[in-house]
Amino acid sequence: MKRVWVALTAVGWLAVAAAQAYGQASSVAPVTPSRSGMVSYIQGAVYLDDKEIPDPIIAQFPYMKENGTLRTAEGKAEAAMNPGVMLWLGENSSLRMITSRFIDTRVELVQGAATVSLTEVAKDNSFTVVFKDATAIIAKAGFYHFYADPAGIKVFAGLARVQVGEQNMEVTAGKMLVVNGQKASVEKFDKEATDALDRFSGRRGELVAAANASAARDCNPDYGYSYGYAANGRPCVGNWNWNPYYGLWTYIPYMNRYCDPIWGYCYYNPQGAWAYYYRPQPVYTGGGGYGPAAPSYQTAPQTSGGYSGAVAASSSAMSAPSAGTGSTAAPAAAASEVGRGSAAGSGRGR
């Protein structure tokens, strides 16, 4: 099934986010997170250490303290963990922060359900989820769903290394682990059978990714050819970045591009954003009757209508967002490379 409905929904969510951020984003200069547990979005009644978080939270972004608790009633919450790790907490759920250092982030799902999306695995970062008698280390980029009671984990994409008592197991994509006391079993599940929290997480992830392209572009005026640090000196890649156009935190990976294998949205580093969105259109000049026309390129990046022509050696045509507007559709080249993770080819209804 084509994901037109998802794209329209994402556009609607962006409009809401922009309306909430209007008048605030320009005056707010959020500090890049230096530890895990920043609450970046809420919907409905959400509590941090039993104190209700005001909605919208654009002007403050509170942090979970170590041994502190993030709890929902009839609401949902989003929290930025290690760079590249986003966690979404479902309704009537509770999450405890054990340690909040990037190098070793540990959380405990006390009640309810939570989903986790990992964009890329950083060398010195570790993310662990404790759920009842089980401990899971997220070892590979992907999408994970955790349950507290009965305790379990579904791995839609990725790899989790789980310890239950004396058992050590690897749970791969398409497998679920069910915990029963000090024992656990692994079995297959239908990855198409998503629930409300999965779909909420997918929509939010799509919005976070939509803010990536312009954030990656703004990281460096050279559009990725000497990237590493932004104008204010903070790291561009492998880090959370604030996008004032959308009023959203987004992630800029080290790798050229990462496309989520389940939901299809993509993240780009500055070089990838340049190649897929901002590279100038080729302008073909006549060959004078002695051969094919030779391409030349505009000197300034085009940001108003995307680009047509080649990315490196590719001749696939694609569309791209202009600065601050954005599109949630993955480029055609992405669709050809990520298979069912592409926007048009996933077949997952929302």
**Cβ atoms 48, 62 nearer than 8 A:** yes
Q: What is the C-alpha to C-alpha distance for residues 38 and 111, in angstroms, rounded to an integer?
A: 20
Tell me what percent of the residues of the chain surpass a pLDDT of 90: 48
Q: Which one is predicted more confidently, 323 or 252?
A: 252
Average pLDDT (53-57) is 84
Tens-digit pLDDT profile for residues 141-163: 999 999 999 999 999 999 999 99
For residue 98, give the 3-state DSSP assignment. strand
The confidence score (pLDDT) of residue 285 equals 67
Q: What is the pLDDT of residue 14?
A: 45
Mean pLDDT, the chain, as a whole number? 76
pTM: 0.74
Confidence of residue 278 (pLDDT cuts 50, 70, 90): confident
Average pLDDT over residues 201-207: 96
Q: Taking residues 303-316, what's their average pLDDT?
A: 32
Give me the amino acid identity at 350: R
Query: H or E stretch including 87?
Result: strand 85-89
Residue of 193, 262, 252 whose CA lies nearest to 228 = 252
Q: What are the backbone dihedrals phi and psi of residue 6, each rounded to the nearest 5 degrees, phi first? A: -65, -45
- Pick the more confident residue, 114 or 19: 114
Average pLDDT of the segment spanning 82-101:
96
Domains of the chain: 35-193 (2.60.120.1440), 199-341 (no CATH)
pLDDT greater than 70 at residue 220: no
Q: pLDDT tens across 169-180, in order?
A: 999 999 999 998
DSSP codes, 107-160: EEEEESEEEEEES---TT--EEEEETTEEEEEEEEEEEEEEETTEEEEEEEEEE
Please give the average per-residue pLDDT across 247-260, as a whole number: 90
CA geometry: angle 162, 77, 13, nearest 5 deg:
120
Query: φ and ψ at 187, to 5 degrees?
Result: -145, 170
Say which residues have a Cβ less than 8 Å from residue 292's Cβ, sequence separation at least 6.
none
φ, ψ at 53 (rounded to 5°): -85, 130
Distance between CA 302 and CA 28 in Å, rounded? 29
Cα dihedral angle (245, 114, 130, 107), rounded to 10 degrees? Answer: 30
**Among residues 340, 349, 206, which one has the least CA distance to residue 262?**
340
